[in-house]
Structures are given as C-alpha cells and as structure tokens.
Amino acid sequence: MPKLKAIILVGGPGMRLRPLTEDRPKSVVPVLNLPAIEHTFAYLKQYGVEDIILALNYLPDVIKSYFGDGSRCGVHLTYCLEKEPMGTAGAVKNAAAYLDGSFFVMNGDIFTDLNLTEMLSFHREKKAMATIALTWVDNPSAFGVVETDSNRKVKRFIEKPPLAEATTHWINAGTYILESEMLKYIPPNQHYMFEKGLFPALLEAGEPVYGYPYRGFWLDMGNPGAYYSINIDLMMSKVKSPLIAPFTSDEKGIRCGADVKIHPSAVITPPVLMDRGCFIGKGVHLTGPVVIGRDCRLEDGAVVENAILWDNVIIGADSRLANCIVSSRAVIKAKQEVVNCIVTPANTVPLLR
C-alpha cells in the first residue's frame, strides 16, 4: 500500500465520557493501561501509515508532553491546534497545509479491525472523492446513517436520526479516505462538520462519495459503557490490539509490571493485567478481567472483580469492587461495597451499560 498520511480527530473531553475526561481528551483515556490513541497509532502502522496528524483543541499539552514527536511509538506526529473547536471537517481544513493527494481520517475514539488496504483498493476502484467506512449496528440513531445504492455510492447521509427515520443499520464508522480536492468544499476559519455539512454538500454537488461496508470489530468508546467494554473485550481477546502481546503460557493469563508485590495468600483468577509498582495485600481476591494501572494499592482482604483501575488507586481493606471503572487517585474506603459504578476522586456515579 502506498504510504498515506492519516489525520486523527482528537477533539474534546466527549461530554458522554465525563467524569472520566476532566483532565484529558477522551482519545487518551487508558485502554489496557495505554492511551487509547496509542492503540490507533499501532493499528495505522500495521498498514504502513506512520505520518500522523493530530487535530487537537482540548488540553493539547497532555498529548504533546506524552507523545512528543511520536518516535517512541514508531510514528511521526504533527500537531494541528485549533484555538476553538473547528468541528470535524473544520479540523481537517485547519490541517490543509499538511494534506495532499489521498489521506485517511479517523475519529479519535474508534476501535476497529477494518482493513485499510482493502478500503483503499475500493476507494481507487470507485475513483471516489470520499469513501466512508460503514459498520452495521443495532441502534443506528446514535450515529450517522448512510444510505448507499447497489454500486455502494452514497445516496443520503443522515446524522443521528430518530430510530423510526433510520432507513438502514449501516452507519458511518468514523474512518474516511478523502482526496485533497474535497478540501475546497470546507469553508475556512469556521466551525464545520463532515456529518451535517461536508457530506451532504459533496452529495449535493454530485461528487463521487462511496460507502465501504465491513463486518469486522467496531466500537466507538465515547460513553462509559463502551469504554468499559473495549477494555473487557481486549482482555477476553474478543478483539486484539497490535500493542498488546497475547498472554504467554508462562503468564497463565496474569501479567504484572516491574516492582509489583503480591502477598502469597492472594487469589488471582485470570485474565489480569497489572502495571508496575502495585501492592496486592493479604487475602486479596482478584477475579478477571481486571486491569490495574500503576502504583495501585489493594489492601488486605479486598475483593476486585471485572474492573478497570487507573493509576494510584487505593482499594481499602475488606472492600468489594465489581464491574467498575476507577479513575486515577480515587480511593475506595475499607469495608465499602461498590458495584456497577464509575469512581473518581470527586464522586461515584452509576456505570450504565
């Protein structure tokens, strides 16, 4: 495949993922202890896409200071800052100086195993100006519904219609291949969306816009339930990330970072992933899938099941935590029972799935 560039729309906190994104854009919430878009970089690299533009507007320094020029991840990163959110298409226009020929666009909150080589062949074969990857979902009303004809040409694009008005379950999967000529359809220096502005405008102008349907794994992790399930799905190997090596036979489904201290009486049922510096006390029960970030402390007698813990979390003695997401520096008090919740240092709210 020729080496194309990709632009990732990193955007803001994602209102629906709050309260997990108070201190970071949603694209860098940890997924199996690594920022979500680091998985996207590895995914793109599999297809030879190493030149990546990040379109940012919210807490850009969190991302810049972590990734720098991208070399640690084997990619080359260019940062394109928006003073104010420019919208999905406005963000691409803002990066126009770096774009030329065909390029990929990805929403920054997508996990997928879409084959980009096959999508590019389709795009070329159709001589498309824009190709939109399409995935099938049960409830299309939360997404951009895309109607195509028998030749896969897009007939209509309806962003988040009421369920009764959704004419198909094939939706915009948040990955596009675009030709740089289409940039002329995006008005400069103003907020403009692909979904409500550009795609309808391209159709109106009679430009060749195609839908590329695929049946692989796809998830938008933009709400807590989906964020929880992407972690669980990766732990259960329902989907794979090129960043996470499968468990070896020696690991037996339990992988620990450096300087982890586990009391010999702890009972650990896989799969469990634990980052460095953790302490697991006497009689702790861990029942996977469980993901534990750096420097967490699970005190004596704590029980943790099906949970995602970020960094520096403390789980008090004899407490029980099940089906939860716990963000960095949150504390579960001794003897507390917390089930189906998002716990942050500031509050505890139900985890709706």
- Nearest approach in angstroms of CB 199 to ligand GDD is 9
Q: Which stretch binds Mg ion (CB under 5 A): 38-46, 121-129, 214-222, 286-294?
A: 214-222
Q: How many residues bind Mg ion (CB under 5 A)?
A: 3
User: Toward ligand GDD, which CB reaches closer, 159 or 207?
Assistant: 159
Q: Does 9 bind ligand GDD (CB under 6 A)?
A: yes
Which residue of 20, 32, 36, 55 would you call a contact of ligand GDD, by CB under 6 A? Answer: 55
- Nearest approach in angstroms of CB 281 to ligand GDD is 39
Half-sphere exposure of 13 (CA within 13 A, CB side): 11
Q: Which stretch binds Mg ion (CB under 5 A): 68-76, 80-88, 222-230, 267-275?
A: 222-230
Q: Does 144 bind Mg ion (CB under 5 A)?
A: no
Mask for 100-119, x = binds Mg ion (CB under 5 A): ---------x----------
Q: Which stretch binds ligand GDD (CB under 6 A): 30-38, 171-179, 182-190, 272-280?
A: 171-179
Q: Does 222 bind Mg ion (CB under 5 A)?
A: yes
The residues in 203-242 that bind ligand GDD, with binding defined as CB under 6 A, are 220, 222
CA pair distance 143, 88, nearest whole angstrom: 14
- Nearest approach in angstroms of CB 87 to Mg ion is 14
The residues in 80-99 that bind ligand GDD, with binding defined as CB under 6 A, are 82, 85-88, 91
- The footprint of Mg ion (CB under 5 A) covers 109, 220, 222
Footprint of ligand GDD on this chain (CB under 6 A)?
A: 9-12, 14, 27, 55-57, 82, 85-88, 91, 107-110, 143-144, 159, 171-172, 174, 195, 220, 222
